[in-house]
Amino acid sequence: MPACTLASCMVVDSPGLRRVAAGLYSSLQMIEPITAERGQQVLMSIIRVLPDILVKKIAAGEVIERPASVIKEVMENAIDAGATRVSVQIEDGGKTLMRVADDGCGMSAEDLRLAVTPHATSKLAEEDDLYHIGSLGFRGEALASIGSISRLTLRSKPHESVEGAEIFVEAEQVRADRAAGCPAGTTVEIRDLFFNVPARRKFLKNSGTEFGHINTQFARIALAHPDIGFELHNNGRMVQNLPANQTPLERISKFYSRELGDDMIAFERRTGDIEIIGFAGQPSGARSSANWQFSFLNRRFIRDKFIQHAIKEAYRGLIDPRRFPVVFLFITVDPSTVDVNVHPTKVEVRWQESGIVHREVLSSLREALGGSDLTPTFDPASTSRPPVDPAQQDAVRQAFAEQFKTMTPQQPSLSFGPDRPAGGGGGSYPSPSMPTQSGSDPSQGMDMWRQVYGQRLDAARDERDVMPPDQPYAVAGPDVLPPGAIRGAIQLHNTYLVCETDDGMMIIDQHALHERIMFEQLKDRITRGALESQRLLLPETLSVSAEQWATLEAERDVLGQLGFDVSRFGTDAAAIQAIPSILKDRDAVAFFRDFLDKLSAKEGDEPAESFIYDILSMMACKAAVKAGDPLSGEEIDALLAQKDLVEKSSNCPHGRPTTLRLTVRDLERQFKRT
Ligand code: ADP
Ligand code: MG
């Protein structure tokens, strides 16, 4: 049958279309030789139902992108099966072999056959379950998909059975199915991934890169399940060994670094709708990408724009806005309030009310950061750290070439609110009363977390309590200053203030500190009403375009709140009648011009609060003493006295540090006295 028959049934005829039609015809011919009669049928309706194996390969493509996707699915199955230990073995970046062994509930011979059948799952019984998902898997397609694009072996024995069973699947055909001697639990072995999907196989990167992706998935799962023991082997070498019943902080330290773990500020918040356990990184440790922000929702790693936005907002003014703080968030919500069935690998979710998670993440982080001393310690001794295992560092680096996020747990009696004890840095935790019973019921996951994590906090606190007496400078005596006290400040180069503290010394950037203090005062003031305003004897005029005037008119409220009174002056000018008192000795007109620019550039959806804060930080910068301004003794004292009255005084509103701290110990190290 000539190709033009196909073309002739189309509305528009053209040489191009003829070529398309001819191509289509010959591909159909390849799939199934077409008889004249059948050809007529096929050509009349060009839509075909795809062969089963093709459907499965396409479905597999959605979930299984690379070896790491297989590892994620199979590890999640082990966790859903109640495993307490999971061991992962990788060869050649997962391209030739991946083996995951668990000690979970296991499967009977019959269940093994069902497990590799599409849409067969033990995790959903009826439609309603879809809206209360408590397990990591539920679609019943992972093993079937993996079986359609690899050589898959499952070996399993339920704990109560005497004998185990084994099933071997190749390109979706079950080839063997027999009894097997094996330990209780399940071993899943995947060989030659994508052996029958050359396009996908070609697409895989070198073994090192693929292993990096696997390590990323492994870390996400291990962080979310510190109660479970995990091992990771690469080409016969063990690269991670994580005992069961670790704390999230231990896992964070293991994967990323001891220093990072030790510096984190722990917090917890529980309201009716949502529970958050989190670890907030120091502002000074912020990174250049968001890869170090980990969110877990109901123990599943997710990426979520509302959470990301809340983190950014919480660190506003503490870090350079182009940088990203390290944050681990472990969030628990009622599964019915969130839809996890919107993304093939479930890494994105849809919230019933996204406002709640945004609000809770923001407030819990703000509270945690507000209650902590964020002053960076000058660290001259970074070279004295214990050597790290280069192989492990490599794996971690590879892992972080990836998108990443995580979370952490916490403990019941911690209070991070304003009534926490004064003094001390992020480590001054009130004494917690530890629960003694460890919960193993998965529904009480958070209690387990809290307990596990509580132990870590306890240990951290004890360490801090015990440490000072070992340090010569900390021995109490008449000369020891009360915690937090500052003594004997002097000004250097009309820019820096240097003073003695109870455990060393501080160097302060006078502008940065004053700016932060003013910013906090302005923020506080504006929540209680308009800023104080001062009328000018002679109004100041400046030129204002019609468009700018329209913008100003629209934002009259903001203008009033800031303490400005401005009226129209002729057709192309404005007269400033009153200015914020804080700017009285400054160039208020220049400030007003900057303000106008900001107002014109304002995005329609920018929250009013963040816009006002931007303006206040501009105002604080204008009003604060400058680098190079000589200060009198009283002025220095007044500035330092205010330091402890404001929160977050460690950083200026733009995120630069205000203060460097050098402890006596650091000095001793530098002078080789220790
Ligand atoms: P899902 O996890 O969405 O149910 P899978 O294809 O991943 O779908 O697994 C299918 C079924 O096989 C699971 O519902 C579970 O009953 C069983 N299964 C898979 N892996 C394991 C395992 N490691 N231990 C016990 N049962 C398992
Ligand atoms: Mg699964």
Q: What DSSP assignment string belongs to 106-146?
A: ---HHHHHHHTSTT--SS--SGGGGGS--SS--SS-HHHHH
State how far the Cα of 111 lies from the Cα of 108, in Å rounded to an integer: 5
Ligand 1, residues at Cβ distance < 6 Å? 73, 77-78, 81, 102, 104-107, 115, 120-123, 137-144, 186
Q: What's residue 379's pLDDT?
A: 55
Among 580, 499, 569, CA closest to 535 = 580
Q: Which residues surround ligand 2, an ion (CB under 5 A)?
A: 77, 137, 142
- Domains parsed from the chain with CATH numbers: 3-43 (no CATH), 53-242 (3.30.565.10), 248-370 (3.30.230.10), 396-674 (no CATH)
The residue nearest atom 13 of ligand 1, judged by CA position, is 121
**CA–centroid distance, residue 75 to ligand 2 (Å):** 8
Nearest CA to ligand 1 atom 7: 142
- Tell me if 291 sits within 8 A of 402, measured CB to CB: yes
Ligand minimally distant from the alpha carbon of residue 115: 1
First to last CA, the chain: 93
- Residue whose pair of structure tokens reads 């009013």 in the numeric block: 608
The alpha carbon of 136 and the centre of ligand 2 are apart by a number of angstroms equal to 7
Q: Nearest CA to 129 among 340, 356, 300?
A: 340
> CA 193, CA 204: separation in Å to the nearest integer?
10
Biggest CA–CA distance in the chain, Å, is 107
576: left (phi over 0), alpha (psi -120 to 50) or beta: beta
Three-class SS of residue 390?
Answer: helix
Atom of ligand 1 nearest to the CA of 73: 7
Q: What is the pLDDT at residue 329? A: 97
Burial class for 525, CB neighbours closer than 10 Å (0-12, 13-18, 19+): middle
- Bridge partner residues of 327 (DSSP): 280, 293
Ligand nearest to the CA of 186: 1
Q: Which two tokens stand for residue 17?
A: 């279309």
Nearest ligand, measured from the Cα of 142 = 1
- Please list the residues that pair with 351 across neighbouring strands: 338
C-alpha to C-alpha distances, 147 to 53, 101, 113, 456, nearest whole angstrom: 11, 17, 11, 42
**Residue from 63, 73, 112, 121 to probe ligand 1 pocket by mutation (most atoms less than 8 Å from CB):** 121
What is each CA distance from 176 to 166, 169, 173, in whole angstroms?
8, 7, 9
Taking the complete model, does pTM exceed 0.85, yes or no? no
Considering every ligand atom, which ligand is closest to the CA of 189? Answer: 1
Distance from residue 304's CA to the centre of ligand 1 (Å): 27
Token pair in block for residue 552: 């100003």
DSSP 457: H
The residue contributing the CA closest to ligand 1 atom 1 is 140
Provide DSSP, 282-299: -GGG-BSSGGGEEEEETT
- Ligand 1: atom nearest CA of 102 is 23
**What's the 413 CA to ligand 2 centre distance in angstroms?**
36
Q: Cα 486 from chain centroid?
A: 37
Contact 222, 251 (CB under 8 A): yes
CA 114 to ligand 1 center in whole angstroms: 9
Specify the ligand 1 atom closest to the Cα of 121.
Answer: 14
Give the residue from 92, 96, 78, 291 showing the smallest Cα distance to 192. 96
Residue 542 half-sphere exposure toward CB, CA atoms < 13 A: 17
Closest residue (by CA) to atom 16 of ligand 1?
122
Tokens for 293, please give them.
């922000």
Q: Which letter does DSSP use for residue 583 in this model? A: G
Under DSSP, is residue 429 helix (H, G, I), strand (E, B) or coil?
A: coil
**Nearest partner of 77 among 63, 58, 66, 91, judged by Cα:** 63
- Which among 62, 116, 143 is the best mutation to test ligand 1's pocket, defined by most ligand atoms within 8 Å of the CB? 143
Distances (CA, A) of 264 to 365, 372, 631: 12, 10, 36
Ligand 1 atom closest to Cα of residue 146: 6
Could you tell me the distance, in angstroms and rounded to a whole number, from the CA of residue 496 to the centre of ligand 1?
63
Give the residue ranges of the chain where pLDDT is below 50. 1-34, 380-483
Which ligand is the nearest neighbour of the Cα of 116?
A: 1
Ligand 1: residue whose CA is nearest its atom 12: 115
Element (H, E) at 398: helix 390-400
Identify the residue whose C-alpha is closest to ligand 1 atom 20. 77
